[in-house]
Amino acid sequence: MKKAKKYLVMLFSIIFIIINTSGCAKLIDDLEELGKALEAITSFETSETTIETTTTKESTKTTLETIKEDSGKETVFVPNIRGTAEPQESTSLATEVTTDTTTETTDQREGLLKAESFTREDIIANGPLYDRRDQFDPQFIEDALEYFPEIAGGNEFDPLVPEVLNRWDTRIPIRIGTFGEPTSDDFARLDLIIPAVETLTGLEIQYAEAGSVDYNFEFHIAPLDDFDDIFEGYYVENNWGFVVHWHDEYGYNYYARMAVSNDYPDREGMNHLIMEEFIQALGLPNDSYRYEDSLFQQNWTTTQELMPIDWLLLEFVYRPELTPNMSVYECVDILREVYLN
């Protein structure tokens, strides 16, 4: 616009000069020449404007294509696929893929068996968890591995006892000799858990014949006042249930003695203690505050069934990959590799 004003001023100046210096004929010729000059000037302006516009359009086009391409790369989240669609379409594609993957992962987790599936009845019907480890939620196994050293290592009454694994030799049957005043209810509680114990451990558990001395596991039901005599100096006061077991230099248990009081706890309390002392004698000697409903809860409870995590701890103790006298922490490392990798 500034250039056009400059040319008009020049035009009127030229006309004024011509009028004052020439005749009419000469004026007409000069005006024709001036018209041609103006036409050339106008043509040049139009051409310059067109070039500038074209250049601007080309630059804009190039910039938009660059943004489009870069935007496409940023919004496509599927590896090794370069985005060629509009950004919005690419975003939709990425969202769709992500949603499908998330759904698939959720479905896989929901399809896994949870801890509560590993019950006494399930064990008898389907066997150890190891044979079905890929079907169970890995978190259940991780929780059991974390719990294992607390229950399997050392001795709750003697901090000097090393935190190593002790268990029975599966090649030698456990033969239970009965003492005191056991009733049918006492035997029924022991019989309730023995099948699952045998399934998980590979142990053979049987009762010694009446009057036989061929036993390696004493099962006493007696008044609490008799416990000092039964345990011959090993008893710790104020325990209505108690067990002591002996092991050889290789870490194998070879003898155990357990007793449950029949004059203090009620029937539910006795049921709980019979299960707890028997299972502890098999290689899980300690208590813990970690799980309220665990058989190994330090506080007094009357839990009537082992928690699934309790059963899994017992299975751990008798895995063939472990050996007696092995540190319980080394056991955890091996078990994690066996069950989760």
User: Do 188 and 98 belong to one domain?
Assistant: no
User: Model confidence over 26-67: pLDDT tens digits?
Assistant: 544 554 555 555 455 444 444 444 434 344 444 434 433 433
Contacts of 238 (CB under 8 A, 6+ apart): none
Q: Which residue has the tokens 């079907």?
A: 135
User: Do 197 and 297 belong to one domain?
Assistant: yes
Residue 98 confidence (pLDDT) above 70 = no
In this structure, are residues 283 and 167 in contact, taking their beta carbons and an 8 Å threshold? yes
User: Do 254 and 182 belong to one domain?
Assistant: yes
Rounded to an integer, the average pLDDT of 14-28 is 48
User: Do 190 and 52 belong to one domain?
Assistant: no
User: Do 269 and 247 belong to one domain?
Assistant: yes
Rounded to an integer, the average pLDDT of 296-319 is 97
User: Do 13 and 152 belong to one domain?
Assistant: no
Residue 228 confidence (pLDDT) above 90 = yes
User: Do 30 and 135 belong to one domain?
Assistant: no
CATH number, domain with residue 311: 3.40.390.10
User: Do 53 and 190 belong to one domain?
Assistant: no
User: Model confidence over 308-327: pLDDT tens digits?
Assistant: 999 999 999 999 999 999 99
User: Model confidence over 111-160: pLDDT tens digits?
Assistant: 899 999 999 999 999 999 999 999 999 999 999 999 999 999 988 778 88
Residue 156 token pair? 């709750």
In this structure, are residues 327 and 164 in contact, taking their beta carbons and an 8 Å threshold? yes
Query: Which residue segment(s) compose the domain that 104 sits in?
Result: 76-111
Residue 151, sorted as left (phi over 0), alpha (psi -120 to 50) or beta, turns out to be alpha
What mean pLDDT is reported for the chain? 79
Domains identified in the chain, total number: 3
User: Do 104 and 156 belong to one domain?
Assistant: no
Domain boundary among 89, 111, 133: 111
User: Model confidence over 61-92: pLDDT tens digits?
Assistant: 443 343 334 333 332 222 222 233 333 333 33
Domain boundary among 21, 50, 73: 73
User: Do 87 and 181 belong to one domain?
Assistant: no
In this structure, are residues 274 and 189 in contact, taking their beta carbons and an 8 Å threshold? yes
- Residue 222: name the closest of 207, 206, 241, 235 by CA: 241
User: Do 173 and 321 belong to one domain?
Assistant: yes
Give the phi and the psi of residue 283 in degrees, each rounded to 5.
135, 10
Domain boundary among 73, 92, 124: 73
User: Do 231 and 161 belong to one domain?
Assistant: yes
The pLDDT of residue 110 is 74
